[in-house]
Structure 1
Amino acid sequence: MRPSRGVPRFLAFCAVAGVLAAGVAAPVVLGAGVLSNQVADAVDGISATLAGSEQPLVTTVTDRDGTPIATLFDQYRLPVTAGQISPAMKAAIVSIEDRRFYDEGGVDVKGMVRAALHDSSGGSTQGGSTITQQYVKNYLVNVVDRNDRAAQLADQADTIARKLREAKIAVQLGQTVSKEDILTGYLDVVEFTGNIYGVGAAAHAYFGTTPDRLTVPQAALLAGMVNNPSLFNPYTHPDQARQRRNLVIDAMVGTKALTAADGATAKAAPLGVRPGGPDVPSSTCLGAAPDAGFFCQYAESYLIRSGFIADQLETGGYVIRTTLDPRVSRIAKDAVDANVPVTQDGVANTFAVIRPGQTTHEVLAMVANRNYGTDPARGETATNIVAGAGNVFGAGSSFKIFTAAAALESGKAGLDTPLPNQAGQCFTQPGANEYTQPYCVQNDGVHYPDPISLRDGLATSPNVAFVNLEQQVGMPAVLDVARRLGLRNTLTTNDAGAKPDPSSPDPQYSQPQSQYFQDKLSFTLGNSPVSPLEVANVPATLMSGGTWCPPDPILSVTDRYGHDVPVRRQACEQAVPPGLADSLLNGLSQDTVSGTSAAAAAAAGWHHADFGKTGTTQRSESVAFVGGVDDYAVSSMVFADGPHPAEICPGPPVHLGSCGHGAFGGTVAAPPYFHAMNEILGNRPDTPIPAADPAYLRARA
């Protein structure tokens, strides 16, 4: 007669039970010692790993005032202490999972023998695991090996070696950890459904309560789910969930945790879960409010560039306090939404605000009429169009700031220097040969004087004068000052706004902009992809006495224990001399008074001393306003962002079309600036525009 396959299993369990009952702590030898080496080599190491592995917790991202704006997590877990779990919850889990929990030493020898006898008889497999053993297994699966599928399968394998290893660790825990801590640990680590881990998260997600307030029916439902979270999911399998809940209630009556009458009342109660599914917050920045999504994503990527690992942020239980100013962000979001509707086809309006300083440039707001999300029909985009080089058409004539800065630095021109300014002119490109076509440009209109001072040119933006000046200064100098003032990441992208592809035969795609534009005078007219956030950092650099600092979204990071976590930050640099910075600010101070945005400023009732520069690309596919007032540096850009870009036309609403005259920086990009800053500033006294340094009034070379 062929022996039953359950007999060896039964004998093995009996051996295990005998050894564990005797309290043997040395390596266990079963029969010929086949399992001894497997177990002895693993137990101590795993015990140490368990002790050193921290449960994944939720990281909270807040604004500068400490108000949460998003959560990041891999497992939704809200840790609790023993005192924060209701007696009903403790009684429910003990009654259904391990009624001898408070008497055993980590392993239930009787339960193991009973399970072995039942299994050896050919019936359905029964578990003999205690809560302590389940705690060990769940901790291995959900914490230690959560990113290793093979190890997770090994943690759950139906083998004697695995069960013996698990049992030995459970005995060790039983000898060193209190019952209350083991029970709390188990209820903190166990999975319910999906990304919900631990009784704290489950109480919130399913019932909108805290674990200390769980009622008997609620506790029984949760206790029943841990056996099979999918099968006993109250939303997808409500009948099975109810049957399982009532089985737990019967078990509570059996252990005298409930009277029969109270049990009957509890069984008659409805499931009582939240309607529509468990309430679990978004685990990424996609769940942030409309005015905080792009900011949150930038803060997360900033920390990763600073040395944090994505998984670390999703599991570390950090509190990331950002620099986001909720009032400034809300007002800026309202301004862009009023200018370009959220769902307006093919038109984006970004808006970034930075607070200048000589030791840090704090980012206060990063918004757009688009929201950070995955549903284009709702006006959402999963690309950070504010932080990255998302404006692929460029910032237009606002780039004349760089030509002016390079001219002041080199001495080729001062603010009062007259610049040649024909109505139209053709230029020889740098490095041109006999086959190179000349670069021809025209001024937009015939009202410009010839010559025109650099100061007046910054206000009225003639193309010919600035291309001429750019040629005199030289492209290397202009590109270098653009990088120093703020376009650090922008200039590393190619002319499509992406990472350069060295395999491409086309320099437009293979070269970074810093190389590609060395021989192209079109740079000063701003026809290249650009980051709206980095453009806002340019006036922040000038307002900081010429000191460049990276746009910083982080005030502090604290870990799960409340300890400060250092953030590696790029050092600030003196980009240009303070006198040059002040002089350029002074030269830019007439745009809203008599320049290209003056009409929009008057229409908005604008009366603040500020500085700015507008920009409009050749086909009006992008328009910009770059400027600053008091201690706010700003960029506002409106650009085509759809699959079929076209000319942007003024509103309301701002739209794509073929309107002949098209949009301008002063007519479409400047109004959100006036709208937002009027409300932000109110009636507070203005910060005066700095005086020009006499050294930068006239040419020196």
Structure 2
Amino acid sequence: MGASRNLLKLVGGCAAGGALLAGILAPVSIGAGLAAVDVSDSVIGIVPASISKQLPGVTTLTDRNGTPIATVFDQYRIPVGADRISQAMKNALVSIEDRRFYQEHGIDPQGVARAAIADVTGGDHQGGSTITQQLVKNYLINVIDKDNPAAQAADRADTLTRKMREARTAIELDENLSKDEILSGYLNVVEFTGKVYGVEAAARAYFGTTADKLTVAQAALLAGMVNNPTTFNPYAHPVAAQRRRDLVIDTMLATKAVDQTTAARAKAEPLGVSGPAVPSSTCFSAQPDAGFFCQYALSYLRSAGVTQEQLTNGGLTIKTTMDSQVSAAAKDAVNANVPVTQPGVANTMAIVSPGNTSHEVLALVANRSLGTDAAQGQTTRNLVTDVSDPFGAGSVFKIFTAAAALESGAATLDTQLPNPPSQCFPLPGNRKCYTVHNDGTYSDPISLANGLATSPNTAFVGLEQRVGVPQVVAMASRLGMRSSMQTNNVGQQPDAGSNDPQRNQTQTQYFQDKPSFTLGDSPVSPLELANVPATLMSGGVWCPPTPILSVTDAAANAVPVTNAACEQVTSSDVASTLMTGLSQDTVSGTTAASARAAGWTRPDIGKTGTTQTNQSVAFVGGVDNYAVSSLVFADGNKPGQLCPGNPVHIGSCGHGAFGGTVAAPPYFKAMKTVLGGR
């Protein structure tokens, strides 16, 4: 009776295998005819002929000289052509996965029948799928449906419909691709462990080599893993991985891919894996002077029309404008001024190259670095490009008042401005007047040129009143503070649900009638602040601070990047006149003492700023072809007064820190290194 049952199962298995083969082949030979199993919605055509050029790959960001600074990806994969995969790797995969690969045509009738019989008779579960069919399945799971768990489950489902659709596609692939293309396509698509996909990435991650140099033992280990990357993970399950590797070597011997001596030598080798050496998939892995730059470059590209999918899966090469020598010098300078782990004190520096057609960003650094470990002075926020300084740039904003006055004709550099020690300025709407004091002793009156160098308060508030606060506010945006002026007065996006004007209005709206604007008590972006002298040094031409030189895809085709157009925001005469007015700051103005201490003798432009409570100090400058901002500000949970010293710290120290004494020294140190003997 038992023999009869086994015979019936065998007959049933043969019938099942025949039915499956007929179902697969029928649409190819006699037309559709398979609506009953729903293969009309075929996956034919979803696997492109140029497989290696369509796979999710690693995006690499480089500096302006092409040196990699970071990688971003969802899947660590480096597609390679068939000629860059060792013959040992190809032989190992074919031997263990599909010995009739070179004779079959997408499907293996013997394998289908064997699998059907085994399934029906209760034998070992066998898939019966060819390498071509596995390519289809893995392409669906790892590429088409990589972000859709439900669809991935359907791609793995053990159903007749799924198997028939997969087989149909495999037949068509076999008709359109060479065996080498199919084999390399599969080896580029398949997962090994974790985020490692494709043989080139696996060769690098596990052995520190490349796919074209894989040995027999290495190839056998990788070929054995594709069956079940978790079970045969050489790190988690080294014994199982070695047994599987040795089984692959035995199959290579059986198929005459290797001889007895080579097989024995390969089986005697240790696994030899290291790592896995998988690069980080975010900007957090960048060097301390490149993390903020990487983050800004990706954000800039997203705003310029490059999709997140392109960035993380497109295998792009993004050549940035970062100058590694300039960036390293800037990073050393801010770290020397404020240590990385100094509690509650941040020091940022942005450096931009002026120009009439572009303003290329050269460095974006801070004493902090990009990362998640706050104890090590790391932050996930981009301190250099975001509107990150909530306290403001202080008297740096007097640049905008001077520019508006020069442009309107309200003043020249020689104009004598009233400059009493204190004054209460009238406000519109019969409000209480706004009282301003000078911090120090100044001549009264004072010329605009001397005022720019020494920075009295009453003279500039009076000049702002003469020009009109709205005109000064507009000038700030025109010269470079565009994103800053669109945030509210706490540096965030305006909150329409708030009743507080400081929160529900943009800075542009909020400061229309407030003379305090010229004293710089509003949140700022350090990068935008550096772009202000860049605009002046470009003859009054504003350009967006761009971090991108070029973007190419995996096939080396240019990826279009939409940039905002440059604008002539003030005349070249106004720009050059204002630069003349700013040329005395390091000679006889607020940074003269620091310049002498640093041995600084180069002609430049500069302006310092200090907020009323000394919670933020700033210096903006320009020398040669470099426009720079250096800001030191309180960034902890309990912000307080900045105190000078070694190091700069939060405390109670009377007059506290000033832009000339605390923010300017990193500028001198960085620029002396950059300019060297020039």
Deviation at residue 253 of structure 1 after TM alignment: 2.2
Distance 1:432 1:212 in 2: 79
Equivalent position SS for 1:438: strand
CA contact (8 A) 2:193 2:229 kept: yes
Task: Quickly say closer, same or farther: Cα 1:7–1:53, change in 2 above 3 A.
Answer: farther
Equivalent position SS for 2:435: strand
Equivalent position SS for 2:449: helix
Distance 1:450 1:9 in 2: 105
Deviation at residue 97 of structure 1 after TM alignment: 0.8
Matches for 1:93-112 after TM superposition, within 5 Å: 93-112=93-112
CA contact (8 A) 2:55 2:79 kept: no
* 1:658 equivalenced with 2:652 (yes/no): yes
Q: Deviations over 1:520-556 (max 9, x none)?
A: 2211111111000000000011111111111111111
Matching residue of 1:67: 67
* One-letter amino acid of the counterpart of residue 659, structure 1: C
Matches for 1:150-549 after TM superposition, within 5 Å: 150-274=150-274, 277-429=275-427, 431-433=428-430, 436-445=431-440, 447-549=441-543
* 1:598 equivalenced with 2:588 (yes/no): no
Task: Quickly say closer, same or farther: Cα 1:386–1:69, change in 2 above 3 A.
Answer: same
* One-letter amino acid of the counterpart of residue 314, structure 1: T
Q: Deviations over 1:642-696 (max 9, x none)?
A: 1111111112111111122211000010001111111222232xxxxxxxxxxxx
Deviation at residue 241 of structure 1 after TM alignment: 1.5
Equivalent position SS for 2:621: strand
CA contact (8 A) 1:356 1:362 kept: yes
* 1:34 equivalenced with 2:28 (yes/no): no
* One-letter amino acid of the counterpart of residue 13, structure 1: G
Task: Quickly say closer, same or farther: Cα 1:591–1:420, change in 2 above 3 A.
Answer: same
CA contact (8 A) 1:20 1:107 kept: no
CA contact (8 A) 1:146 1:152 kept: yes
Task: Quickly say closer, same or farther: Cα 1:270–1:662, change in 2 above 3 A.
Answer: same
* One-letter amino acid of the counterpart of residue 106, structure 1: G
Query: TM-score when scaled to structure 2?
Result: 0.96
Distance 2:54 2:445 in 1: 70
Q: Deviations over 1:611-639 (max 9, x none)?
A: 10000111111100011011111101111
User: Unpaired segments of 5 or more residues in structure 2?
Assistant: none
Distance 2:435 2:15 in 1: 93
Deviation at residue 503 of structure 1 after TM alignment: 1.0
Equivalent position SS for 1:625: strand
Equivalent position SS for 1:432: helix
* One-letter amino acid of the counterpart of residue 442, structure 1: H
Deviation at residue 166 of structure 1 after TM alignment: 0.6
Residues paired across the two proteins, number:
674
Equivalent position SS for 1:374: coil
Distance 1:50 1:505 in 2: 58
Task: Quickly say closer, same or farther: Cα 1:46–1:564, change in 2 above 3 A.
Answer: closer
Deviation at residue 119 of structure 1 after TM alignment: 0.8
CA contact (8 A) 2:204 2:277 kept: yes
* One-letter amino acid of the counterpart of residue 265, structure 1: R
Q: Among 595, 604, 611, which residue is 1:610 paired with?
A: 604
* 1:82 equivalenced with 2:82 (yes/no): yes
Matches for 1:128-147 after TM superposition, within 5 Å: 128-147=128-147
CA contact (8 A) 1:53 1:143 kept: no
Between stretches 417-426 and 206-215, larger displacement belongs to: 417-426
Between stretches 280-289 and 529-538, larger displacement belongs to: 280-289
Q: Among 617, 625, 636, which residue is 2:630 paired with?
A: 636
* One-letter amino acid of the counterpart of residue 470, structure 1: E
Matches for 1:570-581 after TM superposition, within 5 Å: 570-581=564-575
Deviation at residue 302 of structure 1 after TM alignment: 1.0
Equivalent position SS for 2:627: strand
Task: Quickly say closer, same or farther: Cα 1:603–1:484, change in 2 above 3 A.
Answer: same
Deviation at residue 9 of structure 1 after TM alignment: 7.6
* One-letter amino acid of the counterpart of residue 438, structure 1: C
* 1:14 equivalenced with 2:18 (yes/no): yes
CA contact (8 A) 2:283 2:295 kept: yes
Deviation at residue 250 of structure 1 after TM alignment: 2.1
Deviation at residue 265 of structure 1 after TM alignment: 3.0
Deviation at residue 319 of structure 1 after TM alignment: 1.5
CA contact (8 A) 1:102 1:179 kept: yes
* One-letter amino acid of the counterpart of residue 292, structure 1: A
Distance 1:324 1:6 in 2: 69
* One-letter amino acid of the counterpart of residue 572, structure 2: P
CA contact (8 A) 1:399 1:525 kept: yes
Between stretches 82-91 and 451-460, larger displacement belongs to: 82-91
Deviation at residue 14 of structure 1 after TM alignment: 2.0
Task: Quickly say closer, same or farther: Cα 1:484–1:91, change in 2 above 3 A.
Answer: same
Task: Quickly say closer, same or farther: Cα 1:258–1:47, change in 2 above 3 A.
Answer: closer
Distance 2:308 2:195 in 1: 17
Distance 1:500 1:26 in 2: 66
Q: Among 671, 676, 692, which residue is 2:670 paired with?
A: 676
Task: Quickly say closer, same or farther: Cα 1:351–1:422, change in 2 above 3 A.
Answer: same
Between stretches 256-265 and 17-26, larger displacement belongs to: 17-26
Task: Quickly say closer, same or farther: Cα 1:50–1:565, change in 2 above 3 A.
Answer: closer
CA contact (8 A) 2:401 2:472 kept: yes
Deviation at residue 437 of structure 1 after TM alignment: 3.8
Deviation at residue 149 of structure 1 after TM alignment: 2.2
Q: Deviations over 1:261-284 (max 9, x none)?
A: 43333223211111xx31111212
Equivalent position SS for 1:427: strand
* One-letter amino acid of the counterpart of residue 377, structure 2: G
* One-letter amino acid of the counterpart of residue 446, structure 2: I
* 1:58 equivalenced with 2:58 (yes/no): yes
Query: TM-score when scaled to structure 1?
Result: 0.93
Matching residue of 1:692: none
Cα RMSD of the aligned pairs, angstroms, is 2.2
Between stretches 668-677 and 413-422, larger displacement belongs to: 413-422
Distance 1:349 1:80 in 2: 44
Distance 1:47 1:617 in 2: 61
Task: Quickly say closer, same or farther: Cα 1:5–1:592, change in 2 above 3 A.
Answer: farther
Distance 1:82 1:7 in 2: 42
